[in-house]
Amino acid sequence: MFTPSFDTQIDLLEAQFQDVSTALMGGDPAAMQSSFAAFQRLTIELVQMADGVERNQLRSPSRMRKIRALASGMVILRENLVCQSAYVERALEVLVPATRQKSTYAGSGVYGSSIRRSGEFAAFAA
């Protein structure tokens, strides 16, 4: 009774993984949000199913292969999402320069500058 529902859940998760990949490649924020939310929900359900079962039932080679494939695919998706995020941030800086972050010490001089007077003592900038 457990095996078909667990295997069905893995199959649903694989199908949703494909939807997440498609949404990420399409670049539509609304599609990404909904597909990631559905993927997260299915993942939580799978973990809850796995918690109620003995570990030896989960260790079939086909299940482990599918779960490992999903895990490695998630790493790739995460890297692609980070790259896309960096691309969007850079595009935003180019289009709207006011969004660029200011440096922490914006008013300081150039590193290695010459002597500055600080009160009555001469100070060297390193």
For residue 14, give both structure tokens.
């694989």
In a domain, 37, yes or no: yes
- Cβ(42)–Cβ(16) below 8 Å: yes
Gyration radius of the chain over CA positions: 26
Assess if residue 122 is contained within a domain: no
Which has the closest alpha carbon to 49: 99, 110, 1, 120? 1
Tens of pLDDT, residue by residue, the chain (126 residues):
344 588 898 999 999 999 999 998 888 889 999 999 999 999 999 888 888 777 777 778 888 899 899 999 999 999 988 988 888 888 888 888 776 666 555 555 555 555 555 555 555 555
Number of domains in the chain: 1
Q: Which domain holds residue 69?
A: 2-98
Residue 18 lies in a domain: yes
Residue 109 placed within a domain: no
Provide the H-helix boundaries in the chain.
2-26, 29-51, 55-58, 61-95
3-state secondary structure of 85: helix
- Classify residue 125: in a domain, yes or no: no
For residue 53, what is the DSSP state? S
Q: Are 12 and 38 in contact (CB under 8 A)?
A: no
Q: Rounded to 5 degrees, what angle do the CA atoms 68, 70, 75 make?
A: 95
Tell me whether residue 81 is in a domain.
yes
pTM here is: 0.65
